[in-house]
Structure 1
Amino acid sequence: MAEPNFNDWNRQIIEEFRTNDGKVGGAFEGVPLLLLTTTGAKSGQQRINPLTYLLDDGCLFIFASKGGAPTNPAWYYNLIAHPQVIVEIGTERFAATAKPVEGEKRDQIYAKEVQHHPGVAEYEKKASRKIPVVELVRAMAHNEA
């Protein structure tokens, strides 16, 4: 029965995000937050998830931590199946391509996220899995080419 509560919780955060130009209170107050719209791997339906992110050297990264759960979050499988996503940060909305980050680069980016949010280090210990790191690469507008 926890699933509907989680969906309600996400819905409240999404509404607050959109009402307040990307700012939310509560547990996420002051935390960099984005909305990620993915296409369901099985359903093909649009799914929106509020996620923390790291902006590093002009690159945007998200982390499939699922709070340290033993499995990856559903949104991660969605973007693996359909890497074209929509990102909302503040009042900006743009198309992007999700690209998993592997190897040494993944470890470096994850270490930077731990520096910014030390609690993230516990997630990987608790999860007993390597938490995936995904780069969101902004799609170029036609006039930027």
Structure 2
Amino acid sequence: MSALGTLTRRLGHQRWFGATMRLLVPADRLVGRMTKGRVVAFGLVPTLVLTSTGRRSGKPRSNPLVYVPDGDAYVVIGSNWGQQHQPSWTFNLLANPAAEVDVKGRRIPVTAEQVTGEDRERLFQRLVQEWPAYRTYVERAGGREIRVFRLVPNA
């Protein structure tokens, strides 16, 4: 891991970091589009772009998310940087699990499954290994359960 990646993971625990990153998400989306998905999250952590269907608008909604692989699937978490409310994309997936991920420039249709129980705990631990600040986000969110999803490629 690069020194910048290590620094970013350490800074991820700071409250100001989440607020700053929320402001940078539009720029990150632009960089992702310009590089056809090859560079997302400024290349610092494994990131995909999830495109779900807005549950109210019916329009495509794209969000860059840190992920860990789980076999052929991708695992993401609705941390919302530790805010008190769930991110909108998690509600979109619950309403319509058909989605698409852009991983390293490849667009892949997926079906989202919310992960629960022991499987959720196992995958949460893997996510924390990739982005340790997720533990801080749980504390900051008042201990509310943060949703974890497995994005399974369609056959």
How does the TM-score come out when normalised to structure 2? 0.79
Q: Indicate the residue corresponding to 1:106 in structure 2.
A: 120
State whether structure 2 residue 62 is matched by structure 1 residue 48: yes
Match of 2:154 in 1: 139
Deviation at 1:125, TM superposition (A): 1.1
Q: Name the structure 1 match of 2:38.
A: 22
**AA aligned opposite 1:114:** V
Q: How many residues align?
A: 133
Q: Give 3-state SS (helix, strand or coil) of 1:44's partner.
A: coil
Aligned to 1:114, the other structure's residue is in SS state helix
DSSP-derived class of the 1:22 partner: coil
Whether the 8 Å CA contact 1:22–1:33 is kept in 2: the answer is no
> Per-residue deviation at 1:64?
0.4
- Find the aligned partners of 1:125 and 1:11 in 2 and give their Cα distance: 26
CA–CA separation in structure 2 for the residues paired with 1:134 and 1:69:
18
Q: Which residue pairs with 1:3 in the alignment? A: none
Task: Specify the code of the residue in structure 1 equivalent to 2:38.
Answer: G
What letter matches 1:132 in structure 2?
R
Among 111, 126, 131, the alignment partner of 1:97 is 111
**In 2, distance between residues paired with 1:23 and 1:48?**
15
After superposition, what is the alpha-carbon deviation per residue over 1:47-95, rounded to whole angstroms, capped at 9, x for unaligned? 1111111113333100000001111100000111011001100110011
Counterpart pick for 2:129 among 115, 126, 129: 115
Bigger shift: 34-43 or 16-25? 16-25
* Partners of 1:49 and 1:14 in 2: CA distance: 8
Report SS of the residue matched to 2:67: strand
- Percent identity of the aligned residues? 33
Structure 1 position 38 matched with structure 2 position 52? yes
CA distance in 1, matches of 2:27, 2:113: 28
| Contact preservation (8 Å) 2:40, 2:48 | no
Question: What corresponds to 1:9 in structure 2?
Answer: 24
Q: Is contact 1:61–1:133 with CA below 8 Å preserved after alignment?
A: yes
Structure 2 runs not aligned, ≥5 long: 1-21
Q: What runs of 5+ residues in structure 1 fail to find an aligned partner?
A: 1-5, 141-145
Q: Please tell me the root mean square deviation across aligned C-alpha atoms, in Å.
A: 1.8
Q: Which amino acid aligns with 1:105?
A: D
